[in-house]
């Protein structure tokens, strides 16, 4: 009989312990990301001021195959993407043909209604900061402006 009592209290203790663990375990925290990548493409988003106090979603896409940085917004009046702006990254980063490249891209905080885009190329050691705004010539669409470009280290040696 004593052994039966011991087994009962052991089982009860385990049940209470498991229930307490499940109940008091912190909820998993969601991962919030403003960027993603798939094969030869990276996408990032951020707020863009399109005039006055009007903000829209800015969409940045890096196309490895084409060697281009693309940018657009979703027009809040019509819910459609405006024509894409583009920057030739091969020229912008002085990347030799057929060089293996590895870009990192993310957006930062909103400053004056614009989200900065930070772009780094690991092999060349180059880093640049971009923003996007409506074209000034009235033709519609967006333009991408480079604010700064710098070297964060010497280029990697080719194997």
Distance CA 47, CA 110 (A): 7
Q: Identify the pLDDT of residue 61.
A: 94
Chain-centre distance for alpha carbon 40: 15
How many other C-beta atoms lie within 10 A of the C-beta of residue 139? 9
Q: In degrees rounded to 5, what are phi and psi of residue 6?
A: -60, -45
Give pLDDT tens digits for 51-73: 777 788 889 999 988 889 999 98
Which pTM value belongs to this model? 0.70
Please report, for residues 67, 70, 87, the alpha-carbon distance to residue 98 in angstroms, rounded to integers and kept in the order given: 11, 21, 19
Helix (H) or strand (E) holding 101: none
Task: List, for the chain, all residue ranges whose pLDDT scores fall below the cut of 50.
Answer: none
Residues near 38 by Cβ (< 8 Å), separated by ≥ 6?
none
Question: What pLDDT shows up at residue 158?
Answer: 58
Rounded to 5°, the CA angle 18-20-21 comes to: 65
What digits encode the pLDDT tens for the residues 70-87? 999 888 888 888 889 999
DSSP 17: H
As to burial, measured by CB atoms within 10 angstroms (0-12 exposed, 13-18 middle, 19+ buried), residue 60 is buried
């Amino acid at each position: 009989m004593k052994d039966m009592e011991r087994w009962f209290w052991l089982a009860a203790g385990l049940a209470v312990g498991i229930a307490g663990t499940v109940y008091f375990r912190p909820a998993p925290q969601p991962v919030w990301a403003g960027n993603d990548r798939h094969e030869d493409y990276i996408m990032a988003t951020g707020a863009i001021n399109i005039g006055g106090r009007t903000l829209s979603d800015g969409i940045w896409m890096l196309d490895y195959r084409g060697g281009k940085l693309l940018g657009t917004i979703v027009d809040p009046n019509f819910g459609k993407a405006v024509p894409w702006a583009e920057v030739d990254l091969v020229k912008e980063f002085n990347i030799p043909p057929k060089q293996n490249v590895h870009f990192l891209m993310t957006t930062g905080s909103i400053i004056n209604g614009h989200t900065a885009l930070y772009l780094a190329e690991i092999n060349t050691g180059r880093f640049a900061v971009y923003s996007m705004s409506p074209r000034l010539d009235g033709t519609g669409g967006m333009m991408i402006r480079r604010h700064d470009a710098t070297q964060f280290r010497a280029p990697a040696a080719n194997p």
